[in-house]
C-alpha cells in the first residue's frame, strides 16, 4: 500500500514530466479541427507477456504482401473489417534491450531496460508528443492491471519517460483520472472531491515553494522539480477548467463500473473510454496504454480467465484459448478507438485519417525472450505516411529504434537513429534512417 508521502511524490513526479503547456482555449478548438487545421496524434498499445507473430500473421504468408485476400488469425479477427488500415510488421529486433520478463522503459526507449532500473533516455511516445502540435496535456499514459494492483498503486511508471531518470506515470484508477480530466465539469460528489483535492494541491504548492527556500543548495534542483510538479498539476486543472464548455461534449458518462467494478476489465474499459475522450476532445495528442502496465502481471477475469500474472507468460500463445481471448479483447479495444476516431470529422476526412495506432508488446515476442523478433501492428496511415493493408517481413537486422526513427520522420522530425549511438548501431543495426518498406 502506498503511504501519503509516496502518493504525493507520484503525483508531483507524474505531473512534472508530462505537463507544462500553456495553450489558450481557441488553440484547443483548432486542435479539434474547428479552424480547418488537422492535428496528428498517435496511440501506443503495449500488451505485456509478448506478442507471438503466429497470432497476427495470416496462414501461408512467409513473405511481404497484401492482406486483401488473406484471412486474419483468430486472435486479431476483430480487425478483419479494418484490414485495409492494417500493416503487420515482423522481423524487427530488440536484442540490445535485454527484455526477458519485460524491457520496461527500454521497450519504447530502444535501450537496455530492467525491473527497477530508471530510464536512461526519453521514450518515443514522449518525443512524438513534443514533435506533434501542442495540446493541453502533451502526453497521457494509462495502465491496466488487476483490481488489486490498480487500487493499491493507482500510478506507476514502467514504460514512458521524458529523459534519463525522468519516468512518466501511468494512471490506473479511472476515478482519479476522471477527476483530473473532467472534475471541473462534474457535479455531486465528483465535483466536491475535485474541489477539495484542488484546494489541497494549491496549498501544498504554496507550502512547498515556501519551504524550498531553506533547502540546502545541493538539493534545490531536485526540490524545485518536486514543486514544479504540483505547479504543473494545478496549471493543468486551471486550463481544463477554462475550456469546460468544450469538454462537456466529450466527457464519458460515469456509471457503476467506476465505483463498483465487478471485474478488472470494467476498469480497463472505462480507462480506454477516458483515453479515447482525451484524444477526441483535443486534450492530448499522444496516448500510451500499458495492458499489464509494463510488468509481468495482469488479470482478465472479466473474460472468464482465472489465471493471472506471471503464469500467463509461460503459456504458448498460438492456439491457446486464454491468449486468444486476451488478444481478441485487445483487438476489440483497437476497433473501439478506430470507430471513435472515424466518427469525428477533421479536415476533409476524419480523425482516423490523421491518427496512427502502434500495437506491440513491451516483451517482444514472448516471455523469457532475447528480443530477436519484435512483431508490431500499425493501424492507420498517419495522414498518408504509412503503407496499409499489407504484411512486411523484415530480415531481423533492424532494431525497434529504426521504427521509432521512422515515426519521427513521419511527423517531420529529422532522425536517422533513435537512442542509438554509432557504436551500438554497428552491432545492432544494418541500416540507417527510416524503414523504407513501411513508408508510402
Is 394 part of any domain?
A: yes
> How confident is the model over 149-163, as pLDDT tens digits?
999 999 999 999 999
pLDDT confidence tier of residue 363, bands split at 50, 70 and 90: very high
The one-character DSSP state at 135 is -
Q: What is the bridge-based pairing of β-strands 41-47 and 140-144?
A: unpaired
Cβ-in-10-Å burial (0-12, 13-18, 19+) of 427 comes to: exposed
CATH code of the domain containing 42: 3.40.720
Strand residue runs (E) in 344-419: 345-346, 349-350, 355-361, 376-379, 390-399
Is 377 part of any domain?
A: yes
What spatial distance separates the first Cα and last Cα of the chain, rounded to whole Å? 49
pLDDT confidence tier of residue 8, bands split at 50, 70 and 90: very low
SS3 string, 274-341, reads HHHHHHHCCCCCEEEEEECCCCCCCCCHHHCCCCCHHHHHHCCCCCCHHHHHHHHHHHHHHHHHHHHH
> How confident is the model over 213-257, as pLDDT tens digits?
555 666 556 545 554 554 556 567 777 877 888 888 899 999 999
Highest-scoring range by mean pLDDT, 20-24, 79-83, 195-199, 210-214: 79-83
Q: In the prediction, which pLDDT does 189 show?
A: 65
- Of 183, 329, 194, 199, the C-alpha closest to 244 is 183
Q: Are 137 and 21 in contact (CB under 8 A)?
A: yes
- Of all residues in the chain, the percent with pLDDT exceeding 90 is 71
Cβ-in-10-Å burial (0-12, 13-18, 19+) of 102 comes to: buried
The one-character DSSP state at 73 is P
Q: Which helix (H) or strand (E) holds 268?
A: helix 264-280
Q: Is 241 helix (H, G, I), strand (E, B) or coil?
A: helix
Range of the domain at 405: 24-177+261-438
Q: In the prediction, which pLDDT does 19 show?
A: 41
Phi, psi of 54 (to 5 degrees): -70, -15
Is 313 part of any domain?
A: yes
Is 17 part of any domain?
A: no
- Of 47, 17, 10, the C-alpha closest to 144 is 47
Q: In the prediction, which pLDDT does 339 show?
A: 98
Is 1 part of any domain?
A: no
pLDDT confidence tier of residue 34, bands split at 50, 70 and 90: very low
Q: Are 392 and 438 in contact (CB under 8 A)?
A: yes
- Measured on CA atoms in the order 239, 162, 360, 321, is the torsion positive or negative? negative
pLDDT confidence tier of residue 183, bands split at 50, 70 and 90: confident
Q: Are 297 and 308 in contact (CB under 8 A)?
A: yes
Number of independent structural domains in the chain: 1
The one-character DSSP state at 376 is E
Is 346 part of any domain?
A: yes
Q: Identify the bridge partners of residue 163 per DSSP, sorted by sequence position.
A: 166
Compute the radius of gyration of the chain from its Cα atoms: 21
87: its cell numbers: 500493416
- pTM of the predicted model, to two decimals? 0.87
Is 208 part of any domain?
A: no
The three-point CA angle 293-195-25 to 5° equals 80
Is 57 part of any domain?
A: yes
User: Which residues, including other chains, have CB under 8 Å from residue 4's CB and lie 6 or more apart?
Assistant: none
Q: In the prediction, which pLDDT does 35 show?
A: 55
Q: Are 137 and 285 in contact (CB under 8 A)?
A: no
Amino acid at each position: 500500500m502506498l503511504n501519503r508521502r509516496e502518493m504525493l511524490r507520484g503525483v508531483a513526479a507524474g505531473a512534472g514530466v508530462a505537463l507544462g503547456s500553456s495553450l489558450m482555449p481557441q488553440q484547443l478548438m483548432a486542435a479539434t479541427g474547428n479552424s480547418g487545421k488537422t492535428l496528428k496524434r498517435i496511440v501506443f498499445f503495449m500488451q505485456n507477456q509478448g506478442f507471438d507473430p503466429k497470432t497476427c500473421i495470416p496462414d501461408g504468408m512467409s513473405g511481404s504482401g497484401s492482406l486483401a485476400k488473406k484471412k486474419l488469425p483468430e486472435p486479431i479477427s476483430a480487425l478483419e473489417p479494418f484490414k485495409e488500415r492494417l500493416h503487420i510488421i515482423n522481423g524487427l529486433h530488440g536484442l540490445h534491450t535485454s527484455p526477458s520478463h519485460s524491457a520496461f522503459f527500454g521497450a519504447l526507449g530502444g535501450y537496455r531496460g530492467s525491473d527497477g532500473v530508471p530510464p536512461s533516455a526519453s521514450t518515443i511516445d514522449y518525443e512524438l508528443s513534443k514533435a506533434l502540435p501542442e495540446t493541453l496535456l502533451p502526453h497521457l499514459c494509462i495502465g491496466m492491471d488487476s483490481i488489486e494492483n490498480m487500487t493499491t498503486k493507482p500510478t506507476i511508471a514502467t514504460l514512458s519517460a521524458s529523459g534519463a531518470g525522468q519516468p512518466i506515470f501511468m494512471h490506473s484508477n479511472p476515478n482519479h483520472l476522471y477527476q483530473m480530466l473532467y472534475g471541473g465539469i462534474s457535479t455531486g460528489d465528483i465535483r466536491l472531491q475535485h474541489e477539495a483535492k484542488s484546494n489541497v494541491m494549491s496549498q501544498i504548492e504554496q507550502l512547498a515553494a515556501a519551504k524550498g527556500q531553506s533547502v540546502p543548495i545541493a538539493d534545490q534542483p531536485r526540490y524545485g522539480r518536486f514543486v514544479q510538479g504540483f505547479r504543473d498539476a494545478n496549471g493543468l486543472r486551471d486550463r481544463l477548467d477554462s475550456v469546460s464548455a468544450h469538454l462537456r461534449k466529450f466527457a464519458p458518462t460515469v456509471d457503476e463500473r467506476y465505483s463498483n467494478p465487478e471485474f478488472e476489465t470494467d476498469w480497463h474499459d472505462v480507462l480506454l473510454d477516458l483515453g479515447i475522450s482525451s484524444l477526441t476532445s483535443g486534450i492530448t495528442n499522444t496516448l500510451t496504454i500499458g495492458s499489464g502496465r509494463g510488468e509481468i502481471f495482469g488479470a482478465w477475469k472479466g473474460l472468464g480467465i482465472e489465471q493471472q500474472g506471471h503464469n500467463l507468460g509461460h503459456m504458448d500463445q498460438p492456439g491457446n484459448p486464454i491468449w486468444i481471448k486476451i488478444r481478441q479483447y485487445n483487438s476489440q479495444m483497437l476497433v473501439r478507438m478506430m470507430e471513435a476516431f472515424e466518427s469525428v470529422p477533421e479536415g476533409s476526412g476524419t480523425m482516423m485519417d490523421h491518427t496512427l495506432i502502434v500495437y506491440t508488446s513491451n516483451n517482444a515476442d514472448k516471455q523469457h525472450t532475447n528480443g530477436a523478433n519484435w512483431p508490431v501492428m500499425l493501424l492507420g496511415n498517419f495522414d498518408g505516411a504509412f503503407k496499409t493493408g499489407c504484411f512486411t517481413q523484415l530480415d531481423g537486422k533492424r532494431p525497434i529504434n529504426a521504427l521509432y526513427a521512422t515515426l519521427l520522420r513521419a511527423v517531420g522530425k529529422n532522425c536517422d537513429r533513435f537512442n542509438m549511438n554509432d557504436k551500438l548501431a554497428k552491432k545492432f543495426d544494418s541500416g540507417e534512417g527510416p524503414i523504407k518498406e513501411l513508408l508510402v
